[in-house]
Structure 1
Amino acid sequence: MRYTIIGQTVPAVECELNAGESMFTQSGGMIWQSQGIKMSTNARGGLGRSLGRMFTGESIFMANYTAEVQGAKIAFGATVPGSLVPVNISNGGLICQKGAFLCAEQTVDLKAVFTKKILSGFFGGEGFILQQLFGSGMAFLEVDGDMVEKTLAPGEILKVDTGNVVAFEPTVQYEIETVKGLGNIFLGGEGLFLTKLVGPGKVILQTQNFNDFAGRILSLGVKK
């Protein structure tokens, strides 16, 4: 499989497949394809994993696209303005924020994972249920705005607004903590919770949180 990232504002990834190669995506991820692509739909990984994906914001059923001829092309598109990030899952896998997954080769698998502190994760909103990508091959993640990559040293701590975390390596410890101080909570405008990431390992962040952006647009409409 060979791929090209197309566009900058709302990008797409176009994949060129050899005969027999296959990609899968959540429902609605495909935006164009050439002749020679066969589509099938299934509950990837069985009922249990399918229900888990539903809680992470992904669709229960996955669409699979298999090349029946050499050099067939298919493209998958981002849903909001931002970036697409190619990641090689063969290097140890990734734990991703819900909604970050776009598409992957068939040799990649995904399942829902839960934060260790269930109550903190639940009240932290976006940090409650995550998804883990494992196996081998290439996957593509959606990033709101621009992508920022950091590599944390052992024991190094990074605190991030929960909605700005995209993914991190399994070696990174992850928990949600409450913002300290009533004044900070009610006047700071940053919400009640922060994500605490502890190294070692790679972390992928996004400069925009589209859910927050959409919420602000809606609030302006209500005020009018």
Structure 2
Amino acid sequence: MKYEIVGDNLPVLKVKLANGESIITEGGGMSWMTPNLKMETTSRGGVGKALGRFFSGEKMFQNRYTCVDGVEGEIAIASSFPGSILAFDIEDGDIIAQKSAFLACEEGVDLSVQFQKKLSTGFFGGEGFIMQRLSGHGKAFIEIDGHCEIINLNPGEKIVISTGNLAAMDGTCDMEIKSVEGFKNMFLGGEGVFNTVVTGPGKVYLQGMPISGIADVIMANTTIKND
């Protein structure tokens, strides 16, 4: 499999498949493809796996595109929101990503639910109680909102992240939610009541503009105009 990510802040993943190779996509993810790709809708593991994907923000069923007819084929998968598409070699370690981040993967990659161990992390963190874990082997692709900043944390090193700006992290990282110190800082500082704290070792992938931030801006401007 060969791939290319094009389109700057409106990215498209273009994948070339040799005869017999397959790629798994989210339902409705295909933008265009050559006619020698055969599509099969699958639960990939039965009802239990399908329900797990549903709770992690994805569709219950996925599509498998397989190249046939003995010649190379191509499929293009567009991001659903302005931002970035990230590629991972899952052999290097599991990836924990925000809900609805999954875009596509090779057959050997498994998508499952990642529950946050601490209730406070789930209920107060913008990343939510349920995230996605990508494991297994092969290439995997996720989409994130806005510009991507990658920070490599040493063992025990921490980064404080505004709620909602954590897009993904290595499975070796640990995440917790901490309240902002001081009553005035909490309610007058404009940064919210809680921050996400990630501890290394591992890489952390931050998104410049989470879709929730865009929604807040649109809602605020709509309210002003209506008034």
Task: Please report the TM-score for the alignment, with normalisation by the length of structure 1.
Answer: 0.95
Equivalent runs, 1:89-104 vs 2, <5 Å: 89-104=90-105
Aligned-residue identity in percent = 45
Q: Name the CA distance, whole Å, in 2 between partners of 1:59 and 1:150.
A: 30
Residue 173 of structure 1: aligned partner: 174
Residue 21 of structure 1: aligned partner: 21
Q: Name the CA distance, whole Å, in 2 between partners of 1:209 and 1:155.
A: 26
Unaligned residue ranges in structure 1 (runs of 5+): none
Deviations 1:159-195 (A, max 9, x none): 1123111111111111122222222221122222211
Compared CA separation, residues 45 and 180, structure 1 to 2 (3 A): farther
Residue 9 of structure 1: aligned partner: 9
Deviations 1:25-50 (A, max 9, x none): 11221111011011111222222222
Q: Name the CA distance, whole Å, in 1 between partners of 2:214 and 2:202.
A: 29
Query: Is 1:132 aligned to 2:133, yes or no?
Result: yes
Deviations 1:101-150 (A, max 9, x none): 11111111110011111243123242311111011111111121111111
User: C-alpha displacement at 1:152, in angstroms?
Assistant: 0.4
Equivalent runs, 1:80-95 vs 2, <5 Å: 80-95=81-96
Q: Give the alignment's Cα RMSD to 1 decimal.
A: 1.4
Residue 212 of structure 2: aligned partner: 211
Q: 2:178 corresponds to which letter in structure 1?
A: E
Q: Secondary structure at the match of 1:116?
A: coil
Residue 109 of structure 1: aligned partner: 110
Instruction: State how many pairs are aligned.
Output: 224
Q: Check whether the contact 1:127–1:162 (CA below 8 A) recurs between aligned residues.
A: no
Equivalent runs, 1:154-173 vs 2, <5 Å: 154-173=155-174
Residue 34 of structure 1: aligned partner: 34
Residue 56 of structure 1: aligned partner: 56
Residue 190 of structure 1: aligned partner: 191
Q: 2:182 corresponds to which letter in structure 1?
A: G
Q: Name the CA distance, whole Å, in 2 between partners of 1:179 and 1:56.
A: 27
Q: Name the CA distance, whole Å, in 2 between partners of 1:72 and 1:176.
A: 45
Further displaced range: 174-183 or 202-211: 174-183
Q: Check whether the contact 1:124–1:192 (CA below 8 A) recurs between aligned residues.
A: no
Q: Check whether the contact 2:120–2:177 (CA below 8 A) recurs between aligned residues.
A: no
Task: Please report the TM-score for the alignment, with normalisation by the length of structure 2.
Answer: 0.94
Unaligned residue ranges in structure 2 (runs of 5+): none
Q: 1:35 corresponds to which letter in structure 2?
A: P
Q: 1:154 corresponds to which letter in structure 2?
A: P
Q: Name the CA distance, whole Å, in 2 between partners of 1:154 and 1:124.
A: 23
Q: Check whether the contact 1:127–1:176 (CA below 8 A) recurs between aligned residues.
A: no
- Structure 1 residue runs of 4+, over 4 Å off? none
